[in-house]
Amino acid sequence: MTEPTLQGYLGTVWQHLLHGVNDRHHPCRHPTLATIGPDGPQARTLVLRAANQGVATLTLHTDSASAKTSELCADPRVAIHVWLPDHRLQFRLSGTATLQSGDMALWSGLPARAQTNYGSAPSPGAAIAAPDAVASTPDPARFTQITCQIASIDLLHLAADRHYRAAFDAKTNWQGRWLAP
Amino acid sequence: MTEPTLQGYLGTVWQHLLHGVNDRHHPCRHPTLATIGPDGPQARTLVLRAANQGVATLTLHTDSASAKTSELCADPRVAIHVWLPDHRLQFRLSGTATLQSGDMALWSGLPARAQTNYGSAPSPGAAIAAPDAVASTPDPARFTQITCQIASIDLLHLAADRHYRAAFDAKTNWQGRWLAP
């Protein structure tokens, strides 16, 4: 393997994230979003909708009635995690989420089937008597875009010859530094 | 598909976790552990070492000098997350971690290569001048077992006909209940 460089690794992170947006079979399609809930940490899979290296943002979608929405309103700090088994790469991104609900331009671009994900009654996570005791009326007001402003990235590469770890921060203009793995 | 049952789903969770312990290619081999760090949520991949349904524990290994160890000492609450793409299943387990370092019986069972993961200088996450500016002297005192006492499990199944979601709690003896997905 060519000796890796900090800027090479930073490019690798964003290239894979972009692949995830465009390829439903790429591991970056389904990152894990960790938040802080009232009873401790919470982690769940979301679909990565956009990745923009220029402004350091990742975009996800959720239902305004979901627990993660109320968690993010109480504490907007997020961790986004991906493990790429074939590449033996781990990406850990940290940042702050902002929420925007009811964007009609985005809503009208969603397939009808996707729209049914926003509007279930009762709300996601509510107890129901049977697995089918839930109905959905698509509701654009419930459709919520989560924009994660990324402040730092930690990359771990379990290469065959050694383990590489690097960290990148918005504050230092993403110049990067090596860390002990 | 046969109509799923709560106890069937609970069995599915633990069966997959056990497969992860024994099969390095199973997605449960590499769960994501989320904790609360000083600057917000943290999430990273770990190797699942044991899963015991009878006492509701999952076992992981780490280095006592790692950031996750100090995070868990400050706040032992954990979330453990797995997404199984082929089954369209998500497992979210919540609980509390206890740490035990320096177990010589476990240590002597580790392959020599695995032992080098415990004892790097400088410590994991410390800045280094070059990617190879780190040495490792295997140190059994740094080898730390994380036992996660699981208090609740949230399962989501994105089946072809509908989405199923179920929750299980130690407090109610794991009897389970359906949730709106």
B131 within some domain: no
Do the Cβ atoms of B84 and B133 come closer than 8 Å?
no
Mean pLDDT of B10-18: 98
Whether A127 sits inside 8 A of B177 (CB atoms) is yes
Whether B79 sits inside 8 A of A43 (CB atoms) is yes
pLDDT of residue B1: 60
- List, in sequence order, every residue forming a beta bridge with A163; answer none if it has no partner: A158
Measured between beta carbons, which residues in chain A are less than 8 angstroms from residue B124? 165, 179-181
Measured between beta carbons, which residues in chain A are less than 8 angstroms from residue B24? none
Whether B179 sits inside 8 A of A128 (CB atoms) is yes
Say yes or no: ipTM exceeds 0.95: yes
- Is pLDDT above 80 for B12? yes
Measured in angstroms, the CA of A122 and the nearest CA of chain B are apart by 7
Contacts 24+ apart (CB under 8 A), B113-119: B115/B140, B115/B143, B117/B63, B118/B63, B118/B64, B118/B142, B118/B143, B118/B144, B119/B63
What is the tally of structural domains in chain B? 1
Q: pLDDT band for A2, please (50, 70, 90 cuts).
A: confident
B70 within some domain: yes
A12 within some domain: yes
* CB nearest to A43's CB, from B81, B132, B134: B81
B130 within some domain: no
**Tens digits of residue pLDDT in B37-65:** 999 999 999 999 999 999 999 999 999 99
Measured in angstroms, the CA of B19 and the nearest CA of chain A are apart by 17
**Tens digits of residue pLDDT in A158-167:** 999 899 999 9
Kindly report the CATH number assigned to the domain that includes residue B152. Answer: 2.30.110.10
**Tens digits of residue pLDDT in A102-153:** 999 999 999 999 999 999 999 999 999 999 999 999 999 999 999 999 999 9
A131 within some domain: no
**Tens digits of residue pLDDT in B131-164:** 999 999 999 999 999 999 999 999 999 999 899 9
Sign (positive/negative) of CA torsion B123, B125, B128, B132? positive
Measured in angstroms, the CA of A86 and the nearest CA of chain B are apart by 10
B127 within some domain: no
Q: Is the pTM of this model over 0.95?
A: yes
Measured between beta carbons, which residues in chain A are less than 8 angstroms from residue B149? none
**Tens digits of residue pLDDT in B86-104:** 999 999 999 999 999 999 9
Measured between beta carbons, which residues in chain A are less than 8 angstroms from residue B142? none
Do the Cβ atoms of A20 and A29 come closer than 8 Å?
yes
Mean pLDDT of A87-100: 98
Spell out where B4-132 has E strands. 32-37, 40-45, 50-52, 57-63, 77-84, 89-101, 120-121, 127-128
A26 within some domain: yes
The DSSP line for B54-81 is TTTEEEEEEETTSHHHHHHHH--EEEEE
Mean pLDDT of A49-69: 98
Residue given tokens 């490019």 in the structure block: A11
Average model confidence (pLDDT) for chain B?
97
Query: CA dist A163 to A15, A44, A158, Å?
Result: 21, 27, 5
Q: pLDDT band for A1, please (50, 70, 90 cuts).
A: low
Whether B94 sits inside 8 A of A39 (CB atoms) is yes
The residue in chain B having the minimum alpha-carbon distance to the alpha carbon of residue A83 is B45
Measured in angstroms, the CA of B152 and the nearest CA of chain A are apart by 11
Measured between beta carbons, which residues in chain A are less than 8 angstroms from residue B46? none
The residue in chain B having the minimum alpha-carbon distance to the alpha carbon of residue A86 is B25
- What is the amino acid identity at position B115? Q
How far apart CA B2 and CA A143 sit, in angstroms, is 32
Q: Which letter does DSSP use for residue A26 in this model?
A: S
Whether A131 sits inside 8 A of B44 (CB atoms) is no
Sign (positive/negative) of CA torsion A46, A52, A57, A62? negative
Residue A152 belongs to domain spanning:
6-120+138-179
| Cα–chain center distance at B153 | 13
A125 within some domain: no
Do the Cβ atoms of B59 and B1 come closer than 8 Å?
no
How far apart CA A144 and CA A163 sit, in angstroms, is 38
